[in-house]
Structure 1
C-alpha cells in the first residue's frame, strides 16, 4: 500500500514540476510572446526568400528599449518568426553575409533556424 502511494506521489510531483517549468518558460522566455513594438526598418535577402522586419519595443519607465527582429518568409506560406531580441538597444544594423546568413547588431544568425535572445546569452 505504501509503495503505491509513494509511486503516485512521485508521479504527481513530477507532473507539477514539469508544468511549473513550462509555465516559467512560457511566461519569461518564449519568443513568440514578445511585444510588437514600433516599426523601424526592414531588409530583404539577396534572393528575396527572407525579409527581416525590425521593431523598437519600449517597456516603459522601468525598462530600457529593446529591438525585436522578425523573419518573414516571402516565398513560403509560413507565419513570421521572432529571431532577434536585443535589450538596451535602440538602433539596428543589418548586414546580409549571404542569402541565408545575416548579422544583426553584431550577432550572426544562420536562417531560418538560429535566433538571438539576450535573456539566454545566445
Structure 2
C-alpha cells in the first residue's frame, strides 16, 4: 500500500501543525509558571518589601565604608517583633539594601570584625553580598 504525494504532504502538514500547537501551549505554560513563581518570590521572600519599622541603632564600619542601621518591626497581634538591618554605602551612590531579617528579636548587637565583615546578633555576614533572612536559614 503506497501513499500518494498529496496524502504524504497532508500527513506531514498535520504533524507540523500538532508540533507547533504543542510548542505554543508549552511556551504559554512556562510563561505562566514563571510569572507565578516570581509572584510568590515577590510576595513572600523579597527583602526589599520588608516593613520599615522604628529605628533602633546604627554602626559604621572601621574605615567608614559602610553604615548599618537596625530597625524594630512590629508585625501586629498575630506575630512578634522582628529585627531588620540595612546596609548603607557611604563612599558611593549604591542603593541601600536590606541585609538582615530575623523574627523574635527586639535588641540589636552589631560588632564589626573587619571592614567587610560584620556580626549582627551572632550572625556573621561578609559585606556587601551576604544576607541573613530567617525564612531561608532555618
Question: Do the structures match in fold with TM over 0.5?
Answer: yes
Offset at residue 4 of structure 1 (A): 1.3
Counterpart residue number, 2:30: 14
User: What TM-score comes out, normalization by structure 1 length?
Assistant: 0.97
Pair 1:113-2:129 in alignment = yes
CA shift for structure 1 position 103: 0.4
Q: Which residue of 2 aligns with 1:74?
A: 90
Structure 1 unaligned regions, length at least 5: none
For residue 102 of structure 1, give the secondary structure of its aligned residue in structure 2: strand
Question: How far 1:58 sits from its partner (Å)?
Answer: 0.3
**Could you say which structure has the larger radius of gyration?**
2
For these two proteins, the number of residue pairs brought into alignment is 122
Q: TM-score, normalization: structure 2?
A: 0.86
Equivalents in 2 of 1:20, 1:74: separation in Å? Answer: 37
Q: Deviations over 1:6-59 (max 9, x none)?
A: 111111000000110000001110001111000000001000010000000001
Match of residue 52 from structure 1: 68
Q: Secondary structure at the match of 2:100?
A: strand
Which residue of 2 is the match for residue 33 of structure 1? 49
User: Are positions 1:83 and 2:80 aligned together?
Assistant: no
Query: When you count helix as a share of all residues, which structure comes out higher?
Result: 2
Alignment pair present for 1:3 and 2:19: yes
Instruction: Give every structure 1 segment of 4 or more consecutive aligned residues whose post-TM-superposition deviation is greater than 4 Å.
Output: none
Q: CA deviation at 1:5?
A: 1.1
Q: Which runs of 5+ in 2 are unaligned?
A: 1-16
1:62 lines up with 2:78 in the alignment: yes
Root-mean-square deviation (CA, aligned residues, Å) is 0.9
SS of 2:37's equivalent in the other structure is helix
SS at match of 1:85: strand
2:112 maps to which residue? 96
